[in-house]
Structure 1
Amino acid sequence: MFANRYVRTIILSRVLLQLGIWIRNFAILLYISDITNNNSNYVSLISVVETAPIFIFALIGGTLADRWRPKRTMVWSDLISGGTVFLVLLTLLSGSWYALLVGTFVSASLSQFSQPSAMKLYKKNVPAEHLQGVMAMSQSLIAIFMVLGPIMGTFIFLHYGVKVSLALTGILFLGSSLVLSFLPKDDAAEAASASTNFMNDLMAGLRYVQNNFALRKLSLTFGITGLAAGLTQPLALFIAIEKLGLSKQSLQWFLMANGASMLIGGALIMGIAKKVKPQFLLATGLLVSAICTVGVGASTFVPVTLLLQIVSGLFYPCIQVGIQTLLVRNTEGPFMGRVGGAITPIFMGMMLVGMALSGYLKDATSLLAVYVLSGLLLLVGIVFLSPLLRKEQQKGTPQVM
């Protein structure tokens, strides 16, 4: 896969971006926590400015990514992100920290344009038999930074402060833009084929998802998976405190074990990518996650909970890799951005719904009941996926039903 110039360049770009994002996020989190005396409202606002762009710009960004040249879009997105970080740094030097939130919002918004462009390049330039391996590689990269990102971000902030952290972030974003500039020149005909009417293009993307049998099923599976994840994500702390009788600080060890096993799982998937159909990969990940979720909710023994977190982490990449591979395989190149922009917010939206309900459901029932409900929802996701398990969809061909 690394012999492919597009894969090699985009992955290197993503390494720089992930490193910059983690350094920025932890610098902002720790800095705002310090200057506001751990004000929960301001701390939670950080999550809002990181998440809101997905709802606001995902479909818009995906549509524009389909209209624009992918290399140019990615280069300029990272270039503007880097420039924004340095503007925020100048504002911070003048004494205003609110610009940190604005800068984070702008950077997160630009990623909604860059990410679908990368998927378009993968779709066009990566052989079909290597696509699943590339998706696994991307998932492994995310897992690596889930483990190392918080450590590096915290270390740099504590030793050098927020100003150095932001300057380093800006340099990394600009470095990513420079790396992407070495991609082959865009095909001018791609952008020229787009409609002159933005709304027509956007609506065409929504109709494409609606008329594509595989994408409809994936949307349902994606949504129910997001709801299941949202129900348990805010309650992980209570597993450590209430179920296991541990301190709040102990939660980090469970998260690190989960992240490390995700890394291993992603590497294993790269080895079997050509042998396993993505729909079976996705179903396996959902099944194992369902069992582990219920087990974590029921366990009162630290070793058992830790083992379940590790097993869950090993199989979690199956879910992400399976979904991403099916999206790419069942979407024609000109619609890649709009399909991603239409489906990604479904997961995030349902996850936020689950997060909003989780505390109420825990108080109304019990911690175990919420985890059991989450596990059952993951099983429902397999039911939604079952038509794709019976019949592999033809690559890139909409199937009307």
Structure 2
Amino acid sequence: MKDLWKNKVFVLVASADLIQQIGIWVRNMALLFYVIEQTNNDPVAVSLLTVFEYAPIFVFSLVGGTLADRWNPKRTMIAGDALSAVSIGAILVLVMAGWWQAVFAATAVSAIVTQFSQPSSAVMFKRHVPEELIPAATGVTQSLMALFTIAGPVLGTVVYSWAGVESSLAMLVALFALSASLQLALPTYKREPRIAGGSVWREMLSGWAYMRSQRNLMLITLSFALIGLGAGLIQPLDVFLVTERLHLDKEDLQWFYSLGGIGMLIGGAAAATLGRKANPRLVVTVGFAILALSVAVEALSVWTGLTASMRFLVGATMAFLQVVLGAALVSMVEEAYIGRVNGTATPIMMAAMLIGTAASGFLMKTITLVPTYLLAAAIVFLSVPLALRLRFPARKGEATDSAG
């Protein structure tokens, strides 16, 4: 870990991520409360915030990953944060002029820019962070996200309650400008000449062909889709699990979410420490099995302590899996394709999750709550045999993983 903190690129990217996470949560909470106040608790208006946040993932994720493989990643990251600062500044002016609906654009702009900057961060890691340090680097960034899953809503609420929407937006401008300035210190990055040619569409097709040719990538992507489908089936039903199975108030759901965030924090920290030594295939296989078992136990449990323990376990397992798989992907994917691989896997998982979400209410009415959860657990468990077929390259000093 000491060597990791001496790596300039990692420290700069992690610091920029920290600043961006603060900005994201200030944005999320400030805009949520502001829209509620402006519309007198209109659920349609509130749900539109989610639409404006997730729709760009489908529209821009793949093209963003492709362009990240073409563009200079340092310039892309700096331009993305600078564009966020400028656009939110313009939105602030509109809000001050009485056009409160402009806040929806703030969410959309942030989500769009992320689809370009995140793959660029992975490219920088691939070039400048030693392969043996990537699990630890991924674990630290995952832990930062988990930490803000816990503390972010509190921070955003405090800022909005104390300063209001206009000051919150002004704070966003300052945070994104600071992040862009920080990334100016990243080392200069030069693309190989062969990357420059060809159309975006041709390179997107090239990215798909590359993924189809890599068995591990296809297996991991299919596993992500199964987990996304299973998670989508149960995510909207969590509140019913709390009220109907545990007979608690619906407001108590927040504590289960917090437990999941704490689990993510601990799981990410554990992966940062142990991920380098762990057998990736064993971790992924056991992790998928634990996820499926935890969902089933959550459904059958009528004890608050047991359900809470499962929620913590799910968070910790997901974080550990994300770190190990994220590090493995960065290691196994050629540098020229990192952006496109990231830009393909993410929307596939999101699409599966939204399909599950759309079906969850219908299934609950048709087969009731517990069978729906058990169905989700079975879908997640289908990823276990896929994980058993993964073949990771042996690390230095290790025997080669059995062929397949």
Residue 270 of structure 2 is aligned to residue 268 of structure 1:
yes
What is residue 374 of structure 2 aligned with on the other side?
372
- 1:360 deviation in Å? 0.7
Is the partner of 1:165 in helix, strand or coil? helix
Choose from 326, 331, 348 the match for 1:324.
326
Pair 57,305 (structure 1): closer, same or farther in 2 beyond 3 Å: same
Listed as ranges, the gaps of 5+ residues in structure 1 are 396-400
User: Distance between the aligned counterparts of 2:91 and 2:103, measured in 1?
Assistant: 6
- 1:394 deviation in Å? 7.1
Residue 117 of structure 2 is aligned to residue 114 of structure 1:
yes
- 1:311 deviation in Å? 1.9
User: Distance between the aligned counterparts of 1:142 and 1:280, measured in 2?
Assistant: 25
What is residue 355 of structure 2 aligned with on the other side?
353
Choose from 237, 247, 250 the match for 2:252.
250
Count how many residue pairs are aligned between Structure 1 and Structure 2. 393
User: Distance between the aligned counterparts of 2:40 and 2:307, measured in 1?
Assistant: 33
Deviates more, 1:302-311 or 1:223-232: 302-311
Deviates more, 1:49-58 or 1:275-284: 275-284
What is residue 142 of structure 1 aligned with on the other side?
145
1:2-401 to structure 2, matched below 5 A, reads: 2-187=5-190, 189-190=191-192, 193-388=195-390, 391-393=391-393
Pair 394,264 (structure 1): closer, same or farther in 2 beyond 3 Å: closer
Deviates more, 1:233-242 or 1:192-201: 192-201
Is the partner of 1:98 in helix, strand or coil? helix
Q: Aligned letter for 1:207? A: A
Q: Confirm or deny: 8 A CA contact 2:270 2:320 kept in the other structure.
A: no
- 1:364 deviation in Å? 0.5
User: Distance between the aligned counterparts of 2:157 and 2:212, measured in 1?
Assistant: 44
What is residue 398 of structure 1 aligned with on the other side?
none
Q: Confirm or deny: 8 A CA contact 1:132 1:278 kept in the other structure.
A: no
- 1:42 deviation in Å? 0.7
Q: Aligned letter for 1:366? A: T
- 1:103 deviation in Å? 2.0
Deviates more, 1:320-329 or 1:93-102: 320-329
Is the partner of 2:277 in helix, strand or coil? coil
- 1:269 deviation in Å? 1.2
Is the partner of 2:382 in helix, strand or coil? helix
RMSD: 1.5
Scaled by the length of structure 2, the TM-score of the pair is 0.94
Q: Aligned letter for 1:82? A: A
Q: Aligned letter for 2:108? A: F
- 1:156 deviation in Å? 1.0
User: Distance between the aligned counterparts of 1:173 and 1:17, measured in 2?
Assistant: 7
Q: C-alpha deviations, 1:186-219, integer Å up to 9, x for none?
A: 22x4366322322211111111111111111111
Q: Confirm or deny: 8 A CA contact 1:89 1:167 kept in the other structure.
A: yes
User: Distance between the aligned counterparts of 1:291 and 1:269, measured in 2?
Assistant: 21
| Percent of residue pairs bearing the same amino acid type | 35
